[in-house]
Amino acid sequence: MPTFIGFNTQGQNKKFTLTDFELIKRDLANAFNIRQGELPGRPGYGSNLWAYLFENQTTTNTQLILQELSRIVSGDPRIRLVDTQLYPQENGLRVELDVQVVPSTTAERLSVFFDTSSQQASLS
């Protein structure tokens, strides 16, 4: 029996229900793609990462990106951030997140690509 059950219409044809880790991934993708302050009634929800992606990759900027990633992941009580790796790419930034599903010891690695040309974050 699934622990988490949710609803999703993005990229779905007939089956709109998502469960467990697939639901967590969809919710995390939403948090990365929504700019902070855009969601009515929830000014703290969303991401400021896009402001950092267009800056030079200095040590300070890298720390700000890591802090923002940690803030976003900590906003979801179902997961805990274990490790983060950043890989600058030509058209954006690839981030590998090792997260642990909270009620268990299940660990998953998420790869997120922040594409600066389309300004979209995609999880794989």
What class, spelled out in words, does domain 5-123 have in CATH?
alpha beta
Q: Please tell me the distance from the alpha carbon of residue 91 to that of residue 36, in angstroms, as a whole number.
A: 22
| Confidence class for position 107, pLDDT limits 50, 70, 90 | confident
Expressed in percent and rounded to 5, the helix, strand and coil fractions of the chain are 30, 35, 40
Kindly report, residue by residue over 48-89, the tens digit of the pLDDT. 998 888 888 889 999 999 999 999 999 988 899 999 999 998
Please, which residues bridge with residue 47 across strands? 35
pTM of the complete model: 0.82
Please, which residues bridge with residue 79 across strands? 101
Q: Which two tokens stand for residue 94?
A: 């690839």
Asked if 123 and 25 count as a contact pair (C-beta separation under 8 A), the reply is yes
Helix-helix angle 59-74:20-33, to 10 degrees:
130
Q: Please tell me the distance from the alpha carbon of residue 18 to that of residue 6, in angstroms, as a whole number.
A: 5
Q: Where are the domains of the chain?
A: 5-123
